[in-house]
Amino acid sequence: MRYLHHPGSDADPIAPGTVTSPTGVSWSGMSQAIFSTHVLPYFGIAIFLTACGTSVGKVLSPAFVLPAAILNLGLYFVLLWKRHVPGVNVALLYGYAFVNGLLIGPAVAMIGKVFPGVVTQAFILTAVSFFCVAAYVIVSGKDCSGLAPFLVAGLFVIIIGGIVNWFTGGAGLGLGLAILSVVVFLAFTAYDMSNIMHKFRDDEYILATVELYLDFLNLFLAFLRILVHLAASQRR
């Protein structure tokens, strides 16, 4: 689940609290100290817990998917509601990440059996592309807030296309949507990283973590779909 958020968008982009990094790029939003000591560790642990949840989800019955999806949605909104409550916010973040793993576990298990190695390849592609885009924004200091309308349009196309593909089952459309998803969520990564640097307040470290985490997770699922399509086409 994604939504466009503009915390502190009405603030002066070159406010007196602006801090310049060693690379000469200014952070006028969240401080680099909070990003390094809160967002990055929480992000890494959330990814790890999702992997743990995926391992557990592999052995669960497919009947568990619907309850997990409902729990996942509930945790997401509660997490956003309680994101400023110390301790509770981190616990909710970790619980949300673990349930995400449970939710995708059965699909990942099936893909791993049919197409060995594809899941690992998808993770490597995700990690490399995600961190390259994030690093580019951090080093360049580029303001990517102008991407917002394109991201909304991209999400709309992905959602509508996904609904159509659900009923038609076209392999070509599915591959096209997966490729579009990679482009959209790489753009979301740039957009969110830019907002963290220029617009987020220090107390929004949980929201910053959630947004980067969802960018990574959705990017992984998109790469996974692409690799599955390519592997399946080679077997025909």
Distance CA 155, CA 106 (A): 25
Report the pLDDT value the prediction gives residue 14, as an integer from 0 to 100. Answer: 35
**Given the structure tokens 């009947």, which residue do they identify?**
63
pLDDT digits (tens, 9 = 90+) for 79-110: 999 999 999 999 999 999 999 999 999 999 99
Determine contact, residues 219/180, Cβ cutoff 8 Å: no
Distance CA 148, CA 102 (A): 31
Among 5-9, 116-120, 190-194, 204-208, the range scoring the smallest mean pLDDT is 5-9
Report the pLDDT value the prediction gives residue 64, as an integer from 0 to 100. Answer: 84
What is the value of pTM for the model shown?
A: 0.88
**In the chain, where the domains are located:** 19-235
Q: What is the DSSP string of 93-153?
A: HHHHHHHHHHHHHHHHHHHHHHSTTHHHHHHHHHHHHHHHHHHHHHHH----GGGHHHHHH
pLDDT digits (tens, 9 = 90+) for 200-230: 999 999 999 999 999 999 999 999 999 999 9
Number of other residues whose CB lies within 10 A of the CB of residue 61: 7
pLDDT digits (tens, 9 = 90+) for 160-170: 998 998 888 77
Helix/strand/coil for 19: strand
- In terms of residues, how long is the chain? 236
